[in-house]
Amino acid sequence: MLSQGTIIAKASGGGNAAICLFRLSGSNAIPMVSRCFKAKSERKWKKQNSHTLHLGILHRDGAPIDEVLVSIFKNPNSYTGEDVVEISSHGSNFIQEEILRLFIDQGAQPAKPGEFTLRAFLNQKMDLSQAEAVADLIMSETKAAHEVALNQMRGGYTAEIGHLRQKLMDFASLITLELDFSEEDVAFADRTDLRQLLEDLKSKIKTLIDSFQYGSVIKKGVPVAIVGKPNAGKSSLLNAMLNEERAIVSDIPGTTRDTIEDTLTLSGVQFRFIDTAGLRETQNQIEAVGVARAIEKIDTAKLLIFLYDPTDTNTDEIKQSLNQFSRKDLSIVLVENKNDLIIKGKGKSLIPELEQLAITIPYQKIFGISTYDKQSIDQLKTILFDQVNQLAVQGDVIVSNARHFEALQNALKAILNVQNGMDEELSGDLLSVDINEALHYLGEISGTITNDELLGNIFSKFCIGK
């Protein structure tokens, strides 16, 4: 995947813009720029000190292309660990194409997605989990996602994992040394200290694994399905939550034939609301497809708003529906609509009856609203945020990367095998197999252990120029 020599790419967005930023990295980056850049202060340019800015004219064979600002970052004190030059130009498409062609004609190679960050990793400017956090930081759309990515990019949990991994590696070395003196029956690795280290590792890894459910929804957004019978007010609720007429509202049952999705950010967390077709048996083929899609969306949701109309249902129907949706990783918020009518004495609330059945009904909260006058919509938003916040674990470190989650699970399995082996008083050579497996998976997180296929898969998902 890694190109040889000097690479170039735009580090800013596409299309016409006020400013466009180009980045070059490699041993020939500064000489390439020197051949086609005339600085306004030739004296300062000749020194070419690292971390300096230079204003001047970029030209091709003396013909001006643009007035640009050139930034120099010399190795090893640059993002990639190589000589890096960044050029800020005006952002017309014509100028962008001319600048790219200028340096490609000099031998620069167009950078592949993520190649600058890959070079930073290979030059030990960051570990692999930090490199992945760069992509997450670029793609973050909310405050919470930004904070998770930024914490990981700063080192996150890899420094702590690395410290414990080093201790485990030291024990592995001592156990290997024991094998060389097997005839003398000498024990170099203190089994009591090893047990304590394994407990520390197990505790830390379990905490990180437990944080993944929260980290995943923070990174990708929380999928929230709005379900209920036809005409319960699901589309009206979606419109009230978003404060816009996103879904068509009608008194005719079965108006929503397909899922309607939109996003809303609450306290820095993104929620992906899904308005589903009303759940009922139907002979209408189109509506039946909508009901089937609604069930599919419910299966992928982390939060479920079960909306009911107290004038058109009873507690037995609600209980039956909730038991149908119940699963361990789903939080259900039970919402009673048409509070405005109940307040006016035109209907009867089912909340008192449902609260008496709370032990057997798998819901987290029960709440009354009115989509007609948007009564208590803000309180409902607070409840939804609180449900997500309950997933948070103690500590600042949150795992949001599926690759890290899988590696941690495998490492924990290996550590448990080591503990079981010690309980069974297995020999050092057998213990070392599982210890080395744990070391392998912990090393995969930071990139201490890696391969070309893994790197290619990770960095191919980056944007060009980063």
Q: Tell me the C-alpha to C-alpha distance, in Å, between residue 210 and each of 110, 391, 399.
A: 41, 9, 9
Judged against a pLDDT cut of 80, whether residue 87 lies above it is answered with yes
92 vs 186, higher pLDDT: 92
Query: What pLDDT does residue 6 have?
Result: 95
Mean pLDDT of the chain: 81
**Under DSSP, is residue 267 helix (H, G, I), strand (E, B) or coil?**
coil
- Most confident of the ranges 67-71, 131-135, 180-184, 309-313: 67-71
Q: What is the DSSP letter of 112?
A: P
CB 458 within 8 A of CB 112: no
Percent residues over pLDDT 70 in the chain: 85
Looking only at the bridges linking them, the beta strands covering 52-60 and 63-73 are: antiparallel
For the ranges 34-38, 152-156, 300-304, the maximum mean pLDDT occurs at 34-38
- How far is it, in rounded angstroms, from Cα 387 to Cα 408? 26
Average pLDDT over residues 149-162: 75
Do the Cβ atoms of 362 and 179 come closer than 8 Å?
no
Report which of residues 280 and 190 the model is more confident about.
Answer: 190
C-beta neighbour count of 377 within 10 angstroms:
15
Distance separating alpha carbons of residues 283 and 299, to the nearest angstrom: 23
The whole-number average pLDDT for the span 272-299 is 60
Q: What is the mean pLDDT of residues 173-195?
A: 62
Residue 330 has pLDDT above 70, yes or no: yes
CB atoms inside a 10 Å sphere around CB 275: 28
pLDDT per position as a tens digit, 217-251: 778 888 888 888 877 888 888 888 887 655 444 44
Per-residue pLDDT band at 253 (split at 50, 70, 90): very low
- CA geometry: angle at 133 spanning 297 and 392, to 5°? 55
Using CA atoms, how far residue 263 sits from 70, 220, 224, 249, in Å, is: 40, 11, 10, 19
The pLDDT of 421-429, averaged and rounded, is 80
| Six-digit token string for 20 | 């466009």
CA distance linking residue 399 with residue 293, whole number of Å:
30
- Does 16 have pLDDT greater than 70? yes
* Token pair for 419: 């503990």
Whole-prediction pTM: 0.72
pLDDT tens-digit readout, 95-122: 999 999 999 999 999 999 889 999 999 9
DSSP 332-355: EEEEE--HHHHHTTSS---HHHHH
Cα 380 to Cα 323, 330, 445, 446: the distances in Å are 22, 17, 39, 40
Cβ 338 vs Cβ 346: under 8 Å: no
Average pLDDT over residues 314-335: 82
Band the pLDDT of 255: cuts 50, 70, 90.
Answer: very low
Question: Which residues are CB-neighbours of 255 under 8 A, at least 6 positions away?
Answer: 230, 235, 248, 249
Helix/strand/coil percentages in the chain, nearest 5: 45, 20, 35
